[in-house]
Amino acid sequence: MTLQFSLASAAPETAETPCVVVGVYENGLLTSAAARVDSAAGGAIKRQVESGDISGKAGSTTVLFAPEGMHAKRVLVVGLGSQKSFDAARFQKVCMEATRALTRLPIDSAVSFLADVEVPGRDSAWRLRTAALAADHAAYRYTATFKPREKSSQPELTSITFASDEQARTGLDQAIAIAEGVRFARELANLPPNICNPAYIADQAVQFAESNEKVSCTVLDHEEMDQLGFGSLLAVGRGSANHPKLIALEYIGGASDEKPYALVGKGITFDTGGISLKPGPGMEEMKFDMGGAAGVLGAFIAAVKMGLKINLVCVVPAVENMPDGNSYRPSDVLTSLSGITIEVLNTDAEGRLILCDALTYTAQTFQPKAMIDAATLTGACVIALGKHASGLMSKHDDLAAELLSAGETTLDRAWRLPLWDDYQTQLDSGFADIANIGGKNAGAITAGCFLSRFTEGQRWAHLDIAGTAWDEGRKGLATGRPVPLLAQWLIDRAG
């Protein structure tokens, strides 16, 4: 579901809308908007607080139907929790819960006053942007037609108006663009792998470029990559009937001679593990192994929609890893585009094998100011950080600090892991320059160390999003991360 957002100056007691949204803290403390509703409705909120029907617990929701004295047909009262401990993460949570409650009502629009709730250290533009992005995330529904959905006879939520000051307009404009990028990333990652294969991703990129005059797209097929020497990337795709694609989008938003920033995303459209076959249970989640590709494409779309005054490239190696008589094997030695030779110890450590050639290509072709890759790279990162933080690795402290700051701003957080040379010896090989795995210890870090061998001389950082790109379980959906983090990083670069 795509929500439409708008900004308006409105009073909660006079807003003509199917539903007004206000917040209440624990212990019955009302926000200013809730107090105005309570006054107009003859104490309706306070009575429910006193009776215990409105607890104020964070994320709880209560609907007041047709309260007297109000122009709105309903009032949705959202619990904010303790005011003393109210923070940015709590604000995001209550905005999501409010939207989930709205989607359960037979309404097509609402006016929300949550963006006026004070959040320590955050301005009105941040509050509005975060409220809108949280709402869009909560309202998302997988829209592919493979699972028919009966059309509801009731109205469905399609728009939210936020009551906030005009100074917050920038936040709303950014939210609309970032939300589009997040939705694109989620929809692409949620598609089944028989639809979303390398050619499909390439087609999506070409279509986007054709609809935006400042964007161009180059797609290399497997024959062109073979001529150029993409020996590592092509090995991973040898067992699949779906040939690999190397997709490069370029956006010129700055001066034509200005070096671009670069985003590179792992695009394994399905990962069986290859000859090192994965266990069957849970393998269906490996359609999400192109979450890095989806994320960088979403961030690219957000940057273009915001019209950022930067130059940006987005490179996606799109490959399917399948077992076949032609598949690459453990003990094969590959020659990468950089010339570095790689001993394959496990064909399920394939993401780094496509990324190393893509990183080399990006550095050689575009000479970027900075290069960020995003990849659902290691289960080890999920063990280390769980589902809450993406793993961040970089030898550049300033670049790492920029990305960590962007994550804190957007609540799409990352946590830095070491990339010390001490770990590099785990990748030693007796048969090639480097092995593609470093053993069971520090698996996320040695994967980052592997990629660092191909980014010498580059200002580069790696995001391992294996834990954050999708929600677990049979009904788990793609999250769209790290689109918000990367979009904020690009906003900061545009200055």
CB 321 within 8 A of CB 267: no
Looking up tokens 């963006």 gives: 115
Cα separation, 68 vs 74, in Å, equals: 10
Q: Per the residue annotation, which of 100, 278, 395, 459 is the catalytic one?
A: 278
CB 198 within 8 A of CB 41: no
Annotated active-site residue 84? The verdict is no
CB 470 within 8 A of CB 478: yes
CB environment 39-73: b (16+ within 10 A), e (fewer): bbbeebbbebbeeeebbbebbbbbebeebeebebe
Collapsing DSSP to helix, strand or coil, 25 comes out as strand
- Tell the burial category of 91 from Cβ atoms under 10 Å away from its Cβ (0-12, 13-18, 19+): buried
Q: Which of 203, 249, 246 is CA-nearest to residue 366? A: 249
Query: Quick one: which H or E segment has residue 362?
Result: helix 351-366
CB 157 within 8 A of CB 138: no
Cα separation, 424 vs 405, in Å, equals: 28
Judge if the upstream peptide bond of residue 482 is cis by omega within 30 degrees of 0. yes
Give the pairing type, strands 61-65 and 74-81. Answer: antiparallel
Dihedral of the CA atoms 313, 358, 384, 466 (nearest 10)?
Answer: 70
- Tell the burial category of 221 from Cβ atoms under 10 Å away from its Cβ (0-12, 13-18, 19+): middle
DSSP collapsed to 3 states, 206-263: HHHHHCCCCEEEEEECHHHHHHHCCHHHHHHCCCCCCCCEEEEEEEECCCCCCCCEEE
DSSP-derived letter for residue 268 is: E
Half-sphere exposure of 295 (CA within 13 A, CB side): 33
CB under 8 Å to 101, separation ≥6 — which residues? Answer: 61, 63, 76, 78
Q: Which of 200, 252, 202 is CA-nearest to residue 225? A: 202
Query: Quick one: which H or E segment has residue 414?
Result: strand 414-416
Annotated active-site residue 278? The verdict is yes
Q: Per the residue annotation, which of 238, 352, 453, 481 is the catalytic one?
A: 352
Between vectors from CA 159 to CA 153 and to CA 161, what angle results, nearest 5°?
140
Which residues are designated catalytic? Answer: 278, 352
